Structure 1
Amino acid sequence: MVWPIVILCMLLAGTFYMRMKERADKDRQEPDTGSAILDFGRAFPGEAIRAIHATADEKAYFVRLHDGKAGFMASHGNHFVCHLIEPGKVNVSNAPSGRGLVVHFADFASLDGAYEFASPAVAAEVSLWLLGSFSPQSEFTAVSAN
């Protein structure tokens, strides 16, 4: 008489576990641009983001910072690995597709890889950020230099 009750309890516990697991999987969301910005802000609170571009699969984000520096974020599950790119510590070349970049981080080799973007224009803009070629000058900087 006890065995049917034990089996019934096990079936109910299994059903409950499966429903809770299904609900947790449904509630789990993929990282997005908003969570990337928040994670970068937590990792580097003194850096202000001016622009951000995601890769085509949204697994990585490249950021342009307020002072001309660049940053990188790679998605790992529900969080991001954030990296502040130092000048001269990155090598960039075109990916064969024309819409991407092959990036080598001299100080963080585990992030090396080929990153595809939505368009060749976005890839070109990100490459300028990474290489430090994009140095905006305002009219105030030009006036104060005279």
Structure 2
Amino acid sequence: MSLVSWLIIGVIVIALAYYVTRMAKDREDGERHDPGLAILEFGRAFPNEAIRALHETVDGNAVFIRLHDGKAGVMRNYGRHYSCHVIQPGRARATSTADGKGFVIEFLDAPTQNGEFSFPSQEIAAEVGLWLLGNYVSAKDKAAAEDAKAGEQPTA
């Protein structure tokens, strides 16, 4: 074979390698930033929980979910699957980051979910913070209601 033939084959191989790697990267990015997939995965993991709203972190590695009953959930993206966790009331601690666009969260029931989560804006971070706070407040309200109920005297 001549030098021109080898050159043409080399160009074709390089173009094919570029195309394959580019398609693989696009597919990974598409999977990471698909809220529809997040909804399906969470529904599969927790079929009795209704989703009201969700927000994705800037890097696409986590999705925070507001549930119908005031609880919250989090999904961590691990490439081809999500790890889903419903945050039980009072079982998460959050500290705001310096820029106000995120949180460092410690999940007491699921330490593997702990981490720093940044959102696209302070408004979204504040909304997710309210979900977490509402989750925490609902645990206190529930405990207070149970205490009050235990202290009530039956009426005749």
What TM-score comes out, normalization by structure 2 length? 0.68
2:54 corresponds, among 52, 55, 62, to 52
Counting only pairs closer than 5 Å after superposition, residues 127-138 of structure 1 correspond to structure 2 as 127-131=129-133, 132=135
Q: Identity percentage over the alignment? A: 47
Q: Which residue of 2 aligns with 1:87?
A: 89
Q: Which residue of 2 aligns with 1:119?
A: 121
SS in 1 for 2:75: strand
Shift of 1:35: 0.4
CA distance in 1, matches of 2:83, 2:123: 25
CA distance in 1, matches of 2:75, 2:37: 11
Residue 33 (1) aligns with residue 35 (2):
yes
Q: Which residue of 2 aligns with 1:144?
A: none
45-54 or 27-36, which deviates more:
27-36
Counting only pairs closer than 5 Å after superposition, residues 93-104 of structure 1 correspond to structure 2 as 93-104=95-106
Checking the alignment, whether the CA contact within 8 Å between 2:93 and 2:105 is kept in structure 1 is yes
Residue 68 (1) aligns with residue 33 (2):
no
Divergent runs of 4+, >3 A: 26-29
The gaps in structure 2 that reach 5 residues or longer are 1-12, 139-156
Structure showing the higher helix proportion among its residues = 2
CA distance in 1, matches of 2:57, 2:27: 24
Checking the alignment, whether the CA contact within 8 Å between 2:90 and 2:137 is kept in structure 1 is no
Shift of 1:103: 0.6
* Aligned AA (1:62): F
CA distance in 1, matches of 2:120, 2:91: 25
* Aligned AA (1:90): A
Q: Which residue of 2 aligns with 1:141?
A: none
Checking the alignment, whether the CA contact within 8 Å between 1:128 and 1:134 is kept in structure 2 is no
Checking the alignment, whether the CA contact within 8 Å between 1:68 and 1:134 is kept in structure 2 is no
What TM-score comes out, normalization by structure 1 length? 0.72
CA distance in 2, matches of 1:134, 1:57: 29
How many correspondences in the alignment? 118
Shift of 1:30: 2.4
Shift of 1:97: 2.0
RMSD between aligned alpha carbons? Answer: 2.2
